[in-house]
Structure 1
Amino acid sequence: MTYKILCSDLDGTLLTTKSDVSNFTISQIERVKERMQIILVSARMPKAMHYIQQDLGVLHEPIICYNGALILHGDKELKSTVIPALCIENIHKIAEQHNIKLGLYYKDEWYAEIDSERIQKEKVHTKVEPVFKNTTETILDWKLRKIGAHKIMLMGTKNTADIAYKKLEESFSEEINIYRSNDTLIEVSPKSVSKLSAIIYLIKDKYTLDDIISFGDNYNDIDMLQNTGCGVAVGNAREEAKRISNYVTLKNTEDGVAHYVKENLFN
């Protein structure tokens, strides 16, 4: 099958290190990008994706940010879905009960309450600087501006994240998608969106899902991997993602996506 679109997750998938694509990956995308669209699909904010687009030479393509909550094509906003301020307030109450800190994201805005090792890691990996501000103040500001969150990150310990995850599911499962990034991190996005829903929105009547090959590693990639024409999990992917994928390639640190592209696309 000749695929017309390649959709790839970034962290743990296309990125060989925590923040960059390798020269080998760049060379393989360069080889195929004139014959297919390359669409980056991530939980990241736009600013943390544009430099990767630039490295790959695909700045002219759309990007799917925040697990599908924000779709952009250059400077043009194609679709935006946010978590409303009232829901953010309720999530904040649960977080406060367990000394969990929030990261709040809207477009290219990133707000955090205090600096931490986790914040420093994200700064390095995404090349983006947060604004340090009290969460209550951020929510009040967003209410006045009539905006909400494209993504919320809850940062705690394994124990507090376990408790918070259960409470979020019990209270807000109808309003938000809840992803466990790792033992200490929970990502929250609007219920009505996913990476798959954003892909469907982008292709509309022009292509079908069978025209797409996708790459991923985590829980938030499963719908995309399972429903596109070919889903490829990297070797470091969650077992759940591997099970539903058509193929498993090498780990991200071994250029798994690039190796699959080299061996299987347009040879």
Structure 2
Amino acid sequence: MKYKILCSDLDGTLLSTKSDVSESTISEINKIKSAVRTILVSARMPRGMRYLQRRLGIEEQPIICYNGALIIDGDEIITSTEIAIDHVKEIFAMANVRQIKLGLYHNDEWYVEENTERVRKEIRYTQATPVFRDTEASILDWSNRGLGAHKIMLMGTKDTSDAIYPELEERFSKDLNLYRSNDTLIEIAPKSVSKLTAIQKLLQENETMEDVISFGDNYNDVEMIQYSGYGVAVGNAREEVKAVSNFVTLPNTEDGVAVFLKEHPLV
């Protein structure tokens, strides 16, 4: 198999645990990284991706963060697409009525109000630490600095999330992507970007999506898998991802990406 670029999702795909890649995965990436550009593509913030880049020895490659809302190459921002601060304010007002807490993300900034179990899990899994302060203070700070959000996380209960989701869809479906992470979490991102659009921005001269092999597991990976030259779903992937993939490998907990690379050499 000959491809110029390998793009992989992290959580549930390349990571064999909640927070790290296996030695087997590191070994397989080391075999190809001089010939195949290996690009990490995630909903994570930059800090939650860079330590994995170091583990894999691919720090010289760009990273696609926040599902494509932010692309960084070293210290250089390639593209940045934000949720307008007015939308952030409106979402906060809607969430506040139902006592739903917000996580606000911009580049490597992460703000939350409370040190909840959900927040502690993210700290453990991503090796990133938030700043704890009132959401109103964070929004005022961003307003003064002319910033918006690369991602908003709504953290409620199943009942409050069930109630607010259709309201958010009705109000923001034209401008924002809404993604139900689980029963209690709703992720919000800019509508105009995706993992696919971000990868397309990183294609070099004489490269197309046919030169890309990609790996994923979740709804936000469907486009990337579908339009790559070769798309691989891990065994634990959503059925919608498997349906558009060229191949289904083992689950992430069984090193599905590494096993695929070992059995189907790219170089």
Smaller-chain TM-score bracket: over 0.9
What is residue 13 of structure 2 aligned with on the other side?
A: 13
Q: Supply the AA of the counterpart residue of 1:224.
A: M
SS at match of 1:148: coil
Q: Closer, same or farther in 2 for the Cα pair 1:224/1:266, shift >3 Å?
A: closer
Per the TM alignment, residue 194 of structure 1 is displaced from its structure 2 partner at its CA by: 0.5
Shift of 1:183: 1.7
Provide the rounded CA distance (Å) in 2 between the counterparts of 1:116 and 1:126.
15
Question: Which deviates further from its counterpart, 93-102 or 129-138?
Answer: 93-102
2:254 partner letter: E
Distance 1:175 1:100 in 2: 21
Distance 2:176 2:266 in 1: 39
Question: Matches of 1:219 and 1:161 in 2, distance apart?
Answer: 19
Q: For structure 2, which runs of at least 5 residues remain unmatched after alignment?
A: none
- Other-structure match for 1:260: 260
Matched, 1:202 2:202: yes
Distance 2:184 2:218 in 1: 15
CA RMSD, Structure 1 to Structure 2 (Å): 1.1
Match of 1:83 in 2: 83
Instruction: Report SS of the residue matched to 2:236.
Output: coil
What code does the residue aligned with 1:171 have? R
Report the equivalent of 2:165. Answer: 165
Matches of residues 111-150 of structure 1 in structure 2 within 5 Å? 111-150=111-150
Contact 2:3 2:266 in 1 (8 A): no
The answer as to 2:71 corresponding to 1:71 is yes
Say whether 1:92 aligns with 2:71: no
Q: Distance in 1 between matches of 2:64 and 2:129?
A: 21
Runs of 4+ in structure 1 over 4 Å off: none
Whichever residue aligns with residue 50 of structure 1, its letter is R
Aligned length: 267
Deviations along 1:163-209, whole A, 9 cap, x unmatched? Answer: 22211111001111111112211111111111000001111544100
Q: Distance in 1 between matches of 2:26 and 2:52?
A: 10
* Aligned equivalents of 1:8, 1:91: Cα separation in 2: 31
Secondary structure in structure 2 of the residue aligned to 1:215: strand
Scaled by the length of structure 2, what TM-score is found? 0.98
Structure 1 residue runs without a partner (length 5+) = none
In 2, Cα distance between equivalents of 1:17 and 1:217: 14
Partners of 2:224 and 2:203 lie apart in 1 by 13
Distance (Å, rounded) in 1 between the aligned partners of 2:240 and 2:99 = 30
* Structure-2 residue corresponding to 1:248: 248
Cα offset for 1:28? 0.4
Q: What is the deviation of 1:231?
A: 1.1
The normalised TM-score by structure 1 is 0.98
Q: Deviations over 1:140-180 (max 9, x none)?
A: 11010000000101111222222222111110011111111
Structure 1 stretch 80-89 or stretch 174-183: which is displaced more? Answer: 174-183
Corresponding position of 1:23: 23
**SS of 1:77's equivalent?**
strand
Distance 2:259 2:164 in 1: 39
2:52 alignment counterpart: 52
For 2:216 and 2:47, how far apart are their aligned partners in 1? 21
Match of 2:3 in 1: 3
